[in-house]
Every structure is written in structure tokens, then in C-alpha cells.
């Protein structure tokens, strides 16, 4: 069906501008995801994550620069506890100044940057999957609009068939009036039913335009009155469908994020080793006995080891373990609710299937009764009012059958949607 639909769509664009365009349910799914404002949020989440990882990588590769300055006044300064004759001993000023610039480069950070990047990537994956969960709910709206349009189209088709039948009967009845075999009131009854059918067609057209516009706004697709909606054959197939819900993937990405955060938490006890160079000017400089402004320079290797991180390490790991357990509880609740929804949907499928079996029998009988009534009307053995009653009963039976067929189609598509396929 898909190749034929694609071929028909291509020919309709090339051969005639008036040809009927075709939109499939799968195209609506793709369009609603692309047209949804959350598609931009996906780009923002991904771009934000990429920039954060790039910043972490750049901070690791490039040296760190810093400038500090201070001006102080102190109540007492260092003095030498000696006095020498004719030898002045310098005294430090109580106002002191220092301006320094430092450059450092980390030689070993205990894999902290690598773990931070992994945490950020996992966080980005969680954000993207949360958007996917939100977007997946749009499929339910597409299903409702799409199938309601199909139902409206079928109702319109059956009403047109009924109107055509009535118009044919009106022509025959008017001829009968001219020959004196049919009472004029019979023509009026048929014309009243024809006007009723025309009124229904107008209402159905307005309903379809409203549904069409809503589906167009939701998907961004250009839908015209002549646009034909088609459900691909595979969309209604159920079989043994695997569960592919985005919520399940969200739970998995959340667990991955917690695993990466746990590794980063343990990394806090790793030592850090770096080289640094510091230069500046101050009073006093490195020689605290010299009270003049002088420049200075210091370079070397620095080791830092934050052992106090061990104070809360056990609690931090316990918190992450509880968060992981909470995700497990949420997934269990989700799986249970999903199983209930699938069971309910299967019950709905079984119910509509049973109705359809009787619908076909009723429609066949109603058609047979209407055909008999048509012959009786032609022979003058039935009044026009009684004939229209049978005609309407047949139309209602056919509409009920088609309604249940489309409801069954929707139920199967909804079942497929619930599984995430």
C-alpha cells in the first residue's frame, strides 16, 4: 500500500493540479513532531549540553589565569628585637599592598573532567528523552483528529448515496404524479428527506473543515477540502509488538545519569596535581625586611587533596542509591498502568469486533428490506413516507457498521501507539 500511495501522490502532483492529494497517518506523525515547538527545545537541550562539555574540555586543556590584589592596614608589624649603634634597622609600614597574577596548569585531576563530561552527556540524554515523552503524547491528538475526519468522510459518502437515491426517486415520483399513479404528497415527502440529506451534508462539510483546520494547525501540513486521508495497512497491525515507550528509555537514561554522578562523587577524594607560576609586586615583597615596592616571582608544583570530602561521601552515595530506587518505583508504576491500558484497549478491540459481526448482518438485512421497499414504492404498494423510513434505517445501519470499522481501526492504532510503535 505504501508504494502505491506514494506513486499516486507523485502522479497527482505532476498530472493535474486538481488531483486529490493524499496524506497518510505516518506523515502526520512525522509532521507533528517536526512542527511542534518542543522540537526547538530539543535543539536547545542538545546545544546546551554540547557547549557545557566543550567548556569543561577547554578548561582542562588550557591553563588557568587569575589576578588578585589586596591593600591592608594592620595595627602591628614585625620588628627585629635588637638595636645596633649607628645601624638603622628598617621598619615595615603598617599599610601594605600586593598585586599578583597567577597561571596554573593541572597535571592530574583524578579524571574529574572526564567524569564531569560524562555526567553532562547523561544529563543531556535525560533532557532529550523528557522532550520525547512530551512529544509522544501528540500522537493521541493526531489519532483523534485523523480518525474523526475519516468517520466524517464516510458519513458524507453514505449521505450522498442516500441523497442520490432520493433524487432518483423524486424524478420517478414526479413522473408518477404526471400520470396520476402517485399522490403529490409522496413527492413532497421525498423532497423533504432530500433537503434533510443536503442539510446533513452541509453540517458534515463544516465539521470536516473544523477537524481539518485543527489537524493542520497541529501538524503544520497544508490540508485542503479535497485532501484524502489514508491509514497505511501496517498501522493497524498489532501482532506481538515490543514495548518501545519513550518513558522506558527515560528511566534508563535517568539511571545512567545517577551512575555517572556516583562515579563523580567518589572522585572527590582523588588528589590534584598542578604546576603554577605567580608574579606580581607589593610592599613588602618576598623579602619582608625590605619596605620598598618590589616585584617578585614564584613557580612550582602544587598538590591539593580535599580529605574533608570523605565526611559526606557515604551519605551522598546513599542519596544517589535512594534516587535510583525511586526511579525503579516510578517505572514499576508506569509498567503496571501501561499493562492496564493495554488490557483495556484489547477489551475495546474485542467489543467492537463483536459489534461488527452483527453490524454486517444488520446492514445486509436493511439493504434487502430497502430494495424490497423500493420495488413496492415503484409498484405503488408502499407510501413514500414508509419508504424513506426504510431508506434511513439502511443508511443508519451502514453508518453504524462503518463507524464501528473506524472505531476498531482507531482502537488498533491506539493499541500500537500505547506500545510506543
At 236 the pLDDT is: 60
In a domain, 90, yes or no: no
- Residue range 348-381, pLDDT digits in tens: 999 999 999 999 999 999 999 988 888 888 777 8
At 5 the pLDDT is: 42
Among residues of the chain, what percentage have pLDDT more than 70? 93
Taking each helix axis as running N to C, give the angle between helix 313-378 and helix 384-418, from 0 to 180 degrees, rounded to the nearest 10.
160
CA distance 114 to 112: 6
Band (181; pLDDT cuts 50, 70, 90): low
CATH number at residue 249: 1.20.1600.10
- Residue range 207-217, pLDDT digits in tens: 999 999 999 99
The total domain count for the chain is: 1
In a domain, 278, yes or no: no
Single out the residue of 112, 99, 40 nearest to residue 67, CA to CA.
99
Helix/strand/coil for 180: coil
At 131 the pLDDT is: 92
Q: Across residues 94-108, what is the average pLDDT?
A: 90
In a domain, 318, yes or no: yes
In a domain, 82, yes or no: no
At 406 the pLDDT is: 86
In a domain, 194, yes or no: yes
Per-chain mean pLDDT for the chain: 86
At 215 the pLDDT is: 93
- Residue range 37-63, pLDDT digits in tens: 888 899 999 999 999 999 999 988 999
Q: In sequence order, what E strands does 199-252 have?
A: 228-230
- Residue range 158-177, pLDDT digits in tens: 899 888 888 888 888 888 77
Q: Give the cell for residue 390.
A: 426504510
Does pLDDT of 15 surpass 60?
no
Single out the residue of 57, 41, 6 nearest to residue 27, CA to CA.
6
Of 22-31, 45-54, 77-86, 296-305, which gets the smallest average pLDDT? 77-86
DSSP string, 122-159: HHHHHHHHHHHHHHHTHHHHHHHHHHHHHHHHHHHHHH
- Residue range 381-416, pLDDT digits in tens: 888 888 888 888 888 898 889 889 888 988 888 888
Residues spanned by the domain of 413: 2-35+111-269+313-418
CA distance 369 to 55: 79
Q: Across residues 122-129, what is the average pLDDT?
A: 95
In a domain, 54, yes or no: no
In a domain, 400, yes or no: yes
**Among 39-43, 239-243, 255-259, 269-273, which range has the highest average pLDDT?**
255-259
* Cβ proximity of 395 and 366 under 8 Å: no
At 312 the pLDDT is: 86
In a domain, 240, yes or no: yes
At 4 the pLDDT is: 40
Amino acid at each position: 500500500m505504501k508504494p502505491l500511495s506514494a506513486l499516486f501522490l507523485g502522479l497527482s502532483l505532476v498530472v493535474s493540479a486538481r488531483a486529490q492529494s493524499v496524506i497518510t497517518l505516518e506523515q502526520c506523525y512525522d509532521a507533528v513532531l517536526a512542527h511542534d515547538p518542543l522540537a526547538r527545545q530539543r535543539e536547545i537541550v542538545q546545544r546546551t549540553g554540547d557547549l557545557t562539555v566543550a567548556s569543561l574540555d577547554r578548561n582542562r586543556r588550557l591553563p588557568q589565569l587569575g589576578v588578585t590584589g589586596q591593600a591592608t592596614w594592620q595595627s602591628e608589624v614585625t620588628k627585629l628585637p635588637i638595636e645596633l649603634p649607628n645601624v638603622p634597622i628598617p621598619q615595615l609600614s603598617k599599610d601594605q599592598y600586593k598585586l599578583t597574577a597567577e597561571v596554573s596548569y593541572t597535571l592530574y585531576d583524578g579524571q574529574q573532567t572526564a567524569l564531569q563530561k560524562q555526567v553532562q552527556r547523561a544529563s543531556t540524554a535525560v533532557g532529550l528523552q523528557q522532550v520525547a515523552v512530551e512529544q509522544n503524547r501528540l500522537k493521541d491528538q493526531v489519532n483523534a483528529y485523523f480518525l474523526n475526519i475519516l468517520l466524517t468522510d464516510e458519513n458524507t459518502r453514505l449521505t450522498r448515496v442516500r441523497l442520490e437515491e432520493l433524487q432518483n426517486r423524486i424524478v420517478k415520483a414526479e413522473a408518477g404524479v404526471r400520470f396520476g399513479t402517485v399522490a403529490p404528497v409522496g413527492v413532497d415527502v421525498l423532497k423533504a428527506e432530500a433537503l434533510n440529506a443536503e442539510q446533513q451534508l452541509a453540517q458534515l462539510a463544516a465539521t470536516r473543515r473544523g477537524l481539518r483546520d485543527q489537524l493542520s494547525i497541529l501538524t503544520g501540513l497544508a490540508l485542503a477540502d479535497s485532501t484524502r486521508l489514508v491509514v497505511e495497512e501496517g498501522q493497524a497491525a498489532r501482532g506481538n509488538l515490543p514495548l518501545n515507550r519513550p518513558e522506558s528509555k527515560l528511566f534508563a537514561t535517568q539511571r545512567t545519569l545517577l551512575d555517572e554522578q556516583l562515579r563523580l562523587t567518589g572522585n572527590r577524594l582523588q588528589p590534584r596535581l598542578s604546576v603554577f607560576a605567580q608574579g606580581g609586586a607589593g610592599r613588602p615583597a618576598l623579602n619582608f625586611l625590605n619596605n620598598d615596592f618590589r616585584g617578585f616571582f614564584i613557580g612550582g608544583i602544587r598538590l591539593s587533596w580535599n580529605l574533608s570530602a570523605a565526611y559526606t561521601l557515604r551519605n551522598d552515595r546513599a542519596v544517589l542509591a535512594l534516587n535510583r530506587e525511586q526511579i525503579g518505583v516510578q517505572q514499576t508504576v508506569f509498567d503496571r498502568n501501561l499493562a492496564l491500558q493495554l488490557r483495556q484497549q484489547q477489551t475495546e478491540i474485542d467489543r467492537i469486533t463483536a459489534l461488527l459481526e452483527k453490524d454486517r448482518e444488520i446492514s445486509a438485512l436493511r439493504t434487502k428490506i430497502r430494495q424490497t421497499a423500493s420495488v413496492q414504492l415503484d409498484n405503488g404498494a408502499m407510501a413514500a413516507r414508509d419508504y424513506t423510513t426504510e431508506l434511513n434505517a439502511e443508511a443508519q445501519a451502514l453508518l453504524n457498521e462503518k463507524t464501528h470499522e473506524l472505531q476498531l481501526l482507531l482502537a488498533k492504532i491506539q493499541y500500537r501507539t500505547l506500545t510506543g510503535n
